[in-house]
């Protein structure tokens, strides 16, 4: 299991075009080819003073991959700005344009990870962004704290992007320097009742309000509390600054990474009776 190269067809989008499809004084709608590097798009938007994706600065990967897991960071998700996703059904060759409302977006989820998994090639993503009166989202704890430290009281989209980049660079390992897939696990979403039960044993457990009376528990805190932060097992380990990230120090196989993730899952389940879910795709 997980010890051989992927045996199948890989299609990689190389197109990097960006077209303005609609514009008025307040809003701009752009269609972006799936091969564009996500962060390059964020930087292009900032250069044009278009707001909406500044909190998603420096997320590795392409525009085409962004809707797959509805990338999110620092209080926003890409679903907040997506208008439609265009592409082709790989089994029939039929072109389809899927409206955001039909993409079944939720936390790290979309139709592309379920019904359309491996069937739909995304050729472009259409986003609607603000040209003025930007909706600044600086409420995420780490972002708010750093902006306050920097004495930035009314941040611009540029301040938000710069600060997000600074925080990410200080906390997350650069995949070019050390192998990693970013957050390996999703933050578990639980009911208020479950939270109240957990608080009895763990009064300082952090949580964030989620939708429908549910709360999100930071998986990094759970993993750190189990003593995994900075721990190394052979060629793999848990990153020293961010317990959500599993790192490959050298030439570790998929099997070693999977086994470490299993140990972490088991420890968290034993301690908190919570089941962590992997955010990454596991390919056998
Ligand atoms: C250091 C680090 C930090 C990260 N931080 C975050 C974060 O803050 N928030 C977050 O949400 N994610 C984060 N990630 C995860 C990652 O950046 C995203 O999942 C990103 O969208 C992956 O892009 P990719 O182009 O590398 O896609 P891949 O990993 O190559 O593919 C991901 C999935 O999308 C599918 N896919 C890709 N392109 C297409 C296409 N054109 N059509 C159809 N299917 C396609 C693939 O088949 C695969 O199933 C992080 C990763 C790293 C390494």
Q: Is 23 exposed, middle or buried (0-12, 13-18, 19+ CB in 10 A)?
A: exposed
Ligand 1, atom 1: nearest CA belongs to which residue? 182
Average pLDDT over residues 114-132: 96
Kindly tell me the burial class for residue 82, based on how many C-beta atoms sit within 10 Å of its own C-beta (0-12, 13-18, 19 or more): buried
Using 50, 70 and 90 to split pLDDT, how confident is the model at 72? very high
Report the pLDDT averaged over residues 73-100: 97
Answer whether residue 129 shows pLDDT above 70: yes
Q: What is the pLDDT of residue 2?
A: 60
User: Ligand 1 center to residue 62 CA distance, Å?
Assistant: 7
The mean of the pLDDT values for the chain is: 95
Report whether pLDDT(97) > 80.
yes
| pLDDT, average across residues 115-143 | 96
pTM of the model: 0.92
* pLDDT score, position 264: 98
pLDDT band at 64 (very low <50, low <70, confident <90, very high): very high
Q: Is the dihedral of CA 98, 127, 173, 142 positive or negative?
A: negative
Ligand 1, atom 2: closest residue by C-alpha: 182
The tens digit of pLDDT for each residue in 150-188 reads 999 999 999 999 999 999 999 899 888 999 999 999 999
Whether 108 is catalytic: yes
Is the beta carbon of 165 within 6 A of some atom in ligand 1? no
Q: Is 128 a catalytic residue?
A: no
pLDDT of residue 1: 59
Residue 278 annotated among the catalytic residues of the structure: no
For ligand 1, the distance from its centroid to the CA atom of residue 195, given in whole angstroms, is: 30
**8, 10, 60: residue to mutate for ligand 1 pocket, most atoms within 8 A of CB:** 60
* pLDDT digits 0-9 by tens, 236-274: 999 999 999 999 998 899 999 999 999 999 999 999 999
What does the pLDDT average to over 277-282?
91
List residues bridging with 32 in a β-sheet.
18, 125
With b meaning 16 or more CB within 10 Å and e meaning fewer, what string describes 243-271? bbbbbbeeebebebbbbbbeebbebbeee
Mean pLDDT of 39-52: 98
Residue 98: is its pLDDT beyond 70?
yes
């Amino acid at each position: 299991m997980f010890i051989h190269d992927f045996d199948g067809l890989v299609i990689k989008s190389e197109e990097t075009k960006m077209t303005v499809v609609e514009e008025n004084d307040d809003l701009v709608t752009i269609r972006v080819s799936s091969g564009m590097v996500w962060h390059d798009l964020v930087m292009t938007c900032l250069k044009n003073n278009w707001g909406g994706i500044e909190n998603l600065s420096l997320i590795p990967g392409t525009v085409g991959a962004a809707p797959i897991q509805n990338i999110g960071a620092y209080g926003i998700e890409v679903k907040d700005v997506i208008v439609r996703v265009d592409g082709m059904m790989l089994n029939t060759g039929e072109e389809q344009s899927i409206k955001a409302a039909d993409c079944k977006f939720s936390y790290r989820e979309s139709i592309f990870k379920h019904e359309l998994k491996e069937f739909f090639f995304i050729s472009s993503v259409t986003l609607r962004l603000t040209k003025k009166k930007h909706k600044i989202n600086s409420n995420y704890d780490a972002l708010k704290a750093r902006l306050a430290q920097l004495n930035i009281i009314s941040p611009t989209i540029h301040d938000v992007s710069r600060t997000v980049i600074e925080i990410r660079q200080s906390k997350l390992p650069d995949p070019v320097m050390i192998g990693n897939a970013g957050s390996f696990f999703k933050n578990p979403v639980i009911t208020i009742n479950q939270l109240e039960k957990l608080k009895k044993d763990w009064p300082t457990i952090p949580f964030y309000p989620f939708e429908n009376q549910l709360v999100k528990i930071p998986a990094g805190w759970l993993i750190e509390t189990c003593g995994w932060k900075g721990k190394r097992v052979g060629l793999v380990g848990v990153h020293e600054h961010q317990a959500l990230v599993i790192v490959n120090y050298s030439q570790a196989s998929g099997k070693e990474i999977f086994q470490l993730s299993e140990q972490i899952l088991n420890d968290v389940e034993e301690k908190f009776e919570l089941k962590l879910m992997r955010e990454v795709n596991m390919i056998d």
